[in-house]
Structure 1
Amino acid sequence: MIPTFRVLIHMGGLQRLAPFWIAGLVLFALNFGWLACVALAYGVVLQFFVEYVLHRFVYHRDPPAEQSPFNALYRAHIGHHEFPNEPEFFTGGDDWFAVKFGVGAVVLHTLLLWAVLGFWDAGLFGAVALFVGSVSAFTFYEYCHTLAHLDVPKGWFGKRVTHEHLRHHFNDHDSNFHVSFGMGWIDWLFGTGYDRDVAKARFDRGTVMSLGMDPEDLRLVTARKAWGLPERGSGR
């Protein structure tokens, strides 16, 4: 557990979210009631769906043809698949993305709920939902993801998380987009649950770690150099 938390506390995204989480927690405590509790639960569930949608439709989208946007996607996710044990690549390169996403979501929720709840309650709902519920769920996601990739002693929980997530990395990168423990039902809901026979039919040893791309694709070669990574299989 300690090695996992050591990686988490150095994650730029979580560091930048921490003040917002604390502020949201204060708001939750000062305004404790049914609205705040509903907002908290909603924020947690919302984040688990956001986790799935971002992973499947943003990070696993068709690779850009232009090198610059490809490099950005490589830093955000492809590099993590090619070098799954590099802690620096556990998360994307933009440490402010989660903050910008969260602030934008709070504003959006406030505007949408203003007419129904009034300005203050709408803002309270958005802040508690996103900054407490969603940030807490996001931190849990980062914990599960980091634990799955670290070579540390693992109990039942750690082994289960690792088994589920590494299927996505090493068996079938088009399934098991959930990472957070217990969220496999989201994959089954959207038809991307892990199926052994389907995974076996789709499996390609040479491309499974580069998300179906030829490992010698010039875009991959260029991106590795741009981010200071070695050629695949050359070690580190």
Structure 2
Amino acid sequence: MIPALRIVIHMGGLHRLAPFWLAGLGLIVFNFQLWMLPALAYGVVIQWFNEYLIHRFIYHRKPPTEQSPFNKLYRSHIGHHEFPQDEEFFTGDDHWFPLRFAAGSFAVHLLVLWPLVGLWGAVQFAWVALFVGSAAAFAFYEYCHTLAHLNVPKGRFGKWVTREHMAHHYQDHHATFHVTAGMAWIDRLMGTPHDPARARARYDRTTMMSIGMNPDDLRLVTARKAYGIAKAPATSGRAQPARAKVARVQHKT
């Protein structure tokens, strides 16, 4: 547990959310009201759905045909699938995305709630829900993702998380989009649960690690070169990339 937490607390995205989380925590501690409990629960549930929807519909969208946007998608997710144990591609490279997404969601909630509960009430609810509840759920997601991918002591909990998430990477990339422990229900709700028979029918050893793309696709070859990767991943997915130069970015702040 401790080694995984040491990795998580150095993640740039969480660093950017931390001041807002602390401010919201202060609001709860010094001005606690009962409505804050359902606000926290609402924020957690919102993050669960965000986790699923972003993973499925943004990261697993149809790969762009133009190289520049393809490179961005490769850096944010395809590279993670090709080299799932490589820290270079573990969290992507945009450490401002979690804060920008939270700020956009905060603005939307503010506009919707303002006419109903007033400006200050809207600010308080949105802040507690998103910058405390959702941010805490996001941090737990990062912890589960770390346990699943990196070589850290796992224990029974970590092994369970790893088994569930690795089914997405090594068996069927069309299913099991949740990462957070205990969230298999959201895949069942959205029609993407892991099904062994369906996974076997869809499995292609050659394209599994490249989420359905031919590993020799020119877009993939070009993107790998752009990020200093010398060769395609092994079809088993267990090999690490041979990079001429690597800048470890998942801890960058």
Scaled to the shorter chain, the TM-score interval is over 0.9
Q: Report the equivalent of 1:162.
A: 162
Name the amino acid aligned to 2:79. Answer: G
Q: Report the equivalent of 2:37.
A: 37
Q: Once the 2 structures are TM-superposed, how far is the Cα of residue 9 of structure 1 from its aligned partner?
A: 2.3
Q: Report the equivalent of 1:71.
A: 71
Whether contact under 8 Å (1:36, 1:128) holds in the other structure is yes
Pair 1:170–1:204, CA change in 2 (3 A): same
Alpha-carbon distance in structure 2 between the residues aligned to 1:171 and 1:224: 23
Q: Report the equivalent of 2:212.
A: 212
Q: Deviations over 1:136-172 (max 9, x none)?
A: 0000000000100112332111111000000000000
Q: Report the equivalent of 2:55.
A: 55
Name the amino acid aligned to 2:198. Answer: V
What does residue range 181-192 of structure 1 map to in structure 2 within 5 Å? Answer: 181-192=181-192
Q: 3-state DSSP class of the match of 1:193?
A: coil
Q: Report the equivalent of 2:223.
A: 223
Q: Once the 2 structures are TM-superposed, how far is the Cα of residue 24 of structure 1 from its aligned partner?
A: 1.2
Whether contact under 8 Å (2:44, 2:136) holds in the other structure is yes
Structure 1: segments with no counterpart, 5+ residues: none
Q: Report the equivalent of 1:103.
A: 103
Q: Once the 2 structures are TM-superposed, how far is the Cα of residue 88 of structure 1 from its aligned partner?
A: 2.4
Alpha-carbon distance in structure 1 between the residues aligned to 2:56 and 2:149: 19
Moved more, 16-25 or 133-142: 16-25
Alpha-carbon distance in structure 2 between the residues aligned to 1:206 and 1:6: 35
Whether contact under 8 Å (2:3, 2:153) holds in the other structure is no
Moved more, 215-224 or 8-17: 8-17
Residue correspondences, number: 236
Whether contact under 8 Å (1:7, 1:87) holds in the other structure is no
Moved more, 108-117 or 193-202: 108-117
Alpha-carbon distance in structure 2 between the residues aligned to 1:75 and 1:122: 36
Alpha-carbon distance in structure 1 between the residues aligned to 2:30 and 2:124: 11
Q: Once the 2 structures are TM-superposed, how far is the Cα of residue 96 of structure 1 from its aligned partner?
A: 0.5
Pair 1:5–1:230, CA change in 2 (3 A): farther
Q: Report the equivalent of 1:25.
A: 25
* TM-score, normalised by the number of residues in structure 1: 0.97
C-alpha root-mean-square deviation of aligned residues, in Å?
1.1
Runs of 4+ deviating beyond 6 Å: none
Q: Once the 2 structures are TM-superposed, how far is the Cα of residue 230 of structure 1 from its aligned partner?
A: 3.0
Name the amino acid aligned to 1:126. Answer: A
Q: Once the 2 structures are TM-superposed, how far is the Cα of residue 30 of structure 1 from its aligned partner?
A: 2.4
